[in-house]
Chain A
Amino acid sequence: MNSLLLDTLFCGRNRIHMTKVDSTNTELKRRLIDEALPEGTTVTCDEQEQGRGYSGHVWHSEPGLNVMMSILLKPTFLQARFQFYLNQVVTLGLYGALSQYLNGDKLRIKWPNDLMYKDKKICGILIENNVQGNYIQNSIVGVGININERGWKKKGLPYAISMRQILKHEINAEEIISRACTYIEAQYLMLKSGKMEQLQEAYMNHLYRVEEKHHYLIQGNKRKAKIVGLNPEGKLVLESKQGFVVCDFKEIAYML
C-alpha cells in the first residue's frame, strides 16, 4: 500500500487488490484455503459484484464509489463466546478512522456493528470466523464504507449516506483504506492486551441512541424503550415500562 497514512505493524501490509471480485470476504476465504496468509492480509477491490450484507443481502458496488475491504485477523486468544469484542474492535476502529473526516458527535455506532451518520448508515460490517474447539482461528472482517456515492433514493436505500454527500467533495479511497487499517489495528491490539473494559466503555460512549427513549420492534411488539447496556455476550439490554429486556439481533428492529 503506497500510502504514508498506513501506520500499522500488520494490517494492510500484505495487500491484495482486485479490479473486480464477487466479494472481498469470499476472495479472502478462497485464498486462505490455498495458502497460509499472514495476519493483517487485506483484500480490496474496485468493483464488487456480490458484496454480502446481513442474511445474504447483495450489495453491488460500482468502481470508486465505495471502499470494500476484508482484513484477516487471527484472534486465537479469544474464546468464541466472547467474540462480540470483535464487533467492538472493528466498529471503534472505523469510528476512529471516519471521525478524522466527519463530526464525531454525529457519527455513531449502531448496535451491533453498523456506523451511522445522524440517522443514516455510512458503513457496514460482516465478520466471518472459523472456530475450532472453543477458540477462534481466523476472522475475516469485511467492511463497506460509502465514500463517493451521490445518492441512493432511487435504488430503495433511503437510510444510506456517503462521505461525499456530507463533505461535498471527492474522497480518496486509498486514504480511507490506510486509516481504517491503522485504527482497526490499534483497537485490535487493545483487545489482545486485555483492555476489554476500555473497549466496552468506548463502545457505549459512541453507541447510537444510547440512554435515549425510542420506539423499537421488540420480539414483534412495538415498544418505547431505552438502550442501557450490553450483556456479556454482547446482547442489547433495553429498559422499558415492563422492565429490562435482553435482545439478540433478530429480536429487535430499530424504527428509523
Chain B
Amino acid sequence: MEFKEIQELIRMVSKSNLAEIRIEKDSFKITIRTRDYYTTSARATEAAPVTYAIPPIQAPVTAPVQTATSAPVSGSEAPKEKSNSGNENSVSFKSPMVGTFYRAAGPDKEPFVKVGDIVKPGTVLCVVEAMKLFNEIESDISGKIVKIMVDNAKPVEYDQPLFIIEPM
C-alpha cells in the first residue's frame, strides 16, 4: 500500500462512523482506530452515556506508517465517564496520556492493584511509560477496582479506559 493510499484511508475512516478498520493482505497489515473505538467499542458491552465532553482529538492511528499531523488540543478535565461494567455507578478511569501500560513497577514485582482492591485518592494504580518518562498514575477517587481493561505492557491511547472503579 502506498503512503498516499494510507493517508486517503485515514481520511475516509475519520469521516465515517467506523470505530476501527483492519486490512490484511499478504505480509501487509494495517489497523486504524478512531476516537469512537475507545469510547463506544466492543470492550464496553453497550455504548455508555458520556457525561463529560470529550476533547476533539484527531483519530489515533495504529499502523506501520502513521501520519504526523495531530495537533495539540487545549486541556479539559475529562478522565471519567459512566460505564456499564460493574454496577451503574461504576466509572472508567482513563489514561491521562499515550504510552505503554504497566501493572507493576517491574517484571518481578507485585501488581499495584488487583480486581477487588479498595483504592483512595493517591493510590498508585499503574505505570504509563512514554519516551523514557515514567508515570505513576494515581487514583483521584475512592472506590473498588471492578475490572482492569488493559493487559500488562500494552500500548494505551490518551483517554482510553484503564480501570473500572466502583466509587465508595
Q: Which residues of A contact B (CB under 8 A)?
A: 54, 56, 79-84, 86-87, 112-113, 125-137, 219, 229, 231-235, 237, 242-246, 248-250
Contact = CB atoms under 8 A, between A and B. Distances in A.
B70 A84 contact: no
Contact of B131 (A56, A112, A245): A112
Given A249-B130, A249-B131, A250-B100, A132 B122 contact: yes
A83 to B, nearest CB: 5
29 contacts: A56-B106, A81-B158, A83-B97, A87-B131, A87-B132, A127-B134, A128-B133, A128-B136, A129-B134, A131-B96, A131-B97, A131-B135, A132-B121, A132-B122, A132-B139, A133-B77, A134-B75, A134-B76, A134-B77, A231-B68, A232-B71, A232-B72, A233-B131, A237-B68, A242-B3, A242-B65, A244-B65, A249-B130, A250-B100
B160 to A, nearest CB: 12
Interface in B127-168: 128, 130-140, 155, 158
Contacts of A128: 133-136
A244 B138 CA distance: 35
A233 B98 contact: yes
B136 A81 contact: no
B65, B66, B72, B131: which has the most chain A beta carbons within 10 Å? B131
Contacts of A83: 97, 130, 133, 135
B132 A232 contact: no
B68 A130 contact: no
B67 interface: yes
Q: Is the interface of A mostly helix, strand, loop or mixed?
A: mixed
A242 to B, nearest CB: 6
Interface of B: 3, 6, 64-68, 70-72, 75-79, 96-98, 100, 106, 121-122, 128, 130-140, 155, 158
Contact of B132 (A81, A112, A135, A242): A112
Contact of B3 (A84, A133, A134, A243): A243
A132 B158 CA distance: 14
B92 to A, nearest CB: 14
Contacts, number: 107
A176 to B, nearest CB: 22
A127 B133 contact: yes
B121 to A, nearest CB: 7
Contact of B66 (A86, A232, A234, A245): A245
B139 to A, nearest CB: 8
A192 to B, nearest CB: 15
A96 to B, nearest CB: 20
Contacts of B3: 242-244
A214 to B, nearest CB: 19
B133 A246 contact: no
A83 B135 CA distance: 10
Contacts of B100: 250
Contacts of B128: 131
Contact of B68 (A129, A135, A246): A246
A229 B68 contact: yes
Contacts of A127: 132-134
Given A83-B97, A242-B3, A246-B66, A235 B72 contact: no
Interface centre among A56, A131, A229, A248 (most CB of B within 10 A): A131
Contacts of A136: 135
A248 B131 contact: yes
Contacts of A249: 130-132
B135 A129 contact: yes
Contact of A129 (B66, B76, B133, B158): B133
B107 to A, nearest CB: 8
